[in-house]
Amino acid sequence: MSTNGITAVKIPVGWWIAFDPTPPKPLVGDSSQILDKAFTWAQKYGIKVIIDLDAVQGSQNGNDPQNGNDHSGTRD
């Protein structure tokens, strides 16, 4: 990514990353470990990281923010 001019990435995280390391499905477990790995990769390749609190506990708009999508890539 950095070789293509990418200088920063935004990583959306949900509230459970700080409170529940093994949340019930459809939430993604081990989120903090995956986030740590993203920081390691970012440092390795000189990319800045923006953390976006994407979902908070409960609902702010009447919809469930926990859509069950697991986009937690673990490839370098």
Q: Are the C-beta atoms of residues 47 and 6 closer than 8 Å to each other?
A: yes
What does the angle CA 26 – CA 27 – CA 30 come to, to the nearest 5 degrees? 135
Position 49 scores a pLDDT of 96
pLDDT tens string 11-46? 988 877 777 777 777 777 778 888 899 999 999 999
pLDDT for the residue numbered 3: 77
Q: Across residues 45-69, what is the average pLDDT? A: 73
Domain locations along the chain = 2-55
What pTM was estimated for this model as a whole? Answer: 0.63
